[in-house]
Amino acid sequence: MTQKLPLTLVSCSIFLLACTDDAPGATTTFTTQATETGDGDGDPTGDGDGDPTGDGDGDPTGDGDGDPGDGDGDPTAGGTCGDGVVEGDEQCDDGNPNDNDGCTSACLENVCGDGLINEGVEECDDGNPSEGDDCTNACTTAVCGDGIVHEGVEMCDDGNDDDTDGCNTNCMAGSCGDGMIQGNEACDDGNDDNTDDCAGCQVASCGDGYVHAGVEACDDANDVNTDDCTDTCAAASCGDGYIQEGVEECDDANDVDSDACPTSCTDAVCGDGFVYDGQETCDDGNNNPMDGCDAMCELEVNPQCLQAYNEFDSAQRIESFNDNGVTVRCDRNGAGNLAPDWAGPGWYRYIGAAGSQMATAAPGDYSCGTHAAGWLDDPHPTVDQGIVQATVCFDWSPGDCWQTWEIDVVNCGDFYLYNLPDTLSCSYRYCGSNG
């Protein structure tokens, strides 16, 4: 290898300059080249190392490190990874084979995503860009609350601890029954019991479709009052004022049986057993004739009522008349003091001043213009009972029923008829009353 010599050695250059003889006064220049010494190593120094510099290190660079290039003692350009020296294209070199201490065994700095866990810096490193697995892209272990939805584990993750925003602190999506009030929930008692105060996560109310125990009898989630559950969540019933379709014909919200809608909640009709005021005079629950109430719900009188009868009309016969024995009449044919309105045994009706019916309580001595006044000791019959037998008592000291016998009585609808015999003796009289 040819090497330039320092300027100070120009006069000793391997090229010798001499002036030609042709140029007067000129200096003669000549050149001579150093030659190999004959030892076969290619350098002219004769030291046998093949290095023409003569420094004895065997490399021709003259830098004294023994390698022919970059001065690091390594004939390559990159350096040696693991020697503790950062060289060439190495990012780091900590001199050990540990991949988890910030510098990998490939002399690369640990970074998140390289698949190597940098101890003390990274919690994990799965070497992929997925945010939904066990290791996030920040090389932290996936946890609830990190704002990243962990696939297959979390339903949501909003990165906060607010249990009312639709994503709970357990990273489960908010739902009715989780005990957290959120979204459109008015309540959430953490159970699936829809019969308590919180049903379907709404405050229990009539019409929500859930029967509130102890409060509602029913709840059909509508405001229809003609089905079996009213809009007050009470079971439909006769008398509630709502006509239940298919069950009731009417419902006037009262317990009156004499109007157009009796307590059966069926339209009033003849034969239902309820006397419809202004429309019926009787209603015996059937349409049978000759039982006192006909098929038109008109009083059906006993045939006896259509026969001839006698009338009591004397003012002295009524129970309120009492002159302390001055007037003494009797109902017995042939008696000298015969009552003027006595016509002998037969059917009698009380009218006018005599009253409307036979007295039903003991009138007292000397009442009715006689000594012993007669009165009916049994209740009057109804029309449908026909002719009944009853007891007449005669009131005289010492008892209300000092003397008794049986008579026949019939209810003719508007009045009563009494089949009366002669009294046993005089000073007995059948007494009248206005009821």
Task: Confirm whether 144 is domain-assigned.
Answer: no
Query: What's the DSSP call for residue 360?
Result: -
Give residue for tokens 């970074």: 111
Task: Please check whether residue 26 is in contact with residue 19, taking contact to mean a CB–CB distance below 8 angstroms.
Answer: yes
List helix spans (H) across 216-266: none
Q: Tell me: do 259 and 329 sit in the same domain.
A: no
Asked if residue 424 belongs to a domain, the reply is yes
- Assess contact for 373 and 395: CB atoms under 8 A: yes
Regarding whether 283 and 353 lie in a shared domain, the answer is: no
Alpha carbon of 322 to those of 149, 208, 401, 424: distances in Å?
111, 76, 19, 22
> Within a domain: residue 179?
no
Single out the residue in 300, 322, 352 at which a domain terminates: 300
Which among 297, 251, 302, 253 is positioned nearest to 275, based on CA atoms? 297
pLDDT at 162: 83
Residues 383, 321 share a domain: yes
263 & 335 share domain: no
254 located within any domain: yes
pLDDT of residue 389: 98
Query: Considering 277, 300, 323, which residue would you say is the last residue of a domain?
Result: 300
**pLDDT number for residue 335:** 84
Residues 357 and 411 occupy one common structural domain: yes
* CA triple 268-269-270, angle to 5 deg: 135
On whether both 285 and 325 belong to a single domain, the answer is no
Q: Tell me the C-alpha to C-alpha distance, in Å, between residue 28 and each of 10, 21, 23, 24, 135.
A: 14, 8, 9, 10, 85
Smallest CA-to-CA distance from 417 within 401, 427, 430, 429 is with 430
Q: How far is CA 356 from CA 135, 257, 317, in A?
A: 110, 29, 11
Consecutive 10-residue runs of the chain (435 residues): their mean pLDDT? 37 32 37 43 51 51 48 56 91 90 90 90 91 90 90 88 81 84 86 89 91 94 94 95 96 96 96 95 89 86 93 97 94 90 98 98 94 97 92 91 96 95 92 95
Q: Which residue has the tokens 């010798």?
A: 16
Q: Which of 275, 300, 325 is the last residue of a domain?
A: 300
In a domain, 230, yes or no: no
Q: Decide if 212 contacts 195 (C-beta within 8 A).
A: yes
- Strand spans (E) along 351-411: 357-358, 372-376, 387-396, 399-411
Q: Quick one: pLDDT at residue 37?
A: 47
Number of domains in the chain: 2
**Residue 190's pLDDT is what?**
87
Q: Are residues 376 and 293 in the same domain?
A: no
Its domain, for residue 429, covers 303-433
Residue 391, in any domain of the structure: yes
Does residue 321 fall inside a structural domain?
Answer: yes
> Is residue 174, in this structure, part of any structural domain at all?
no
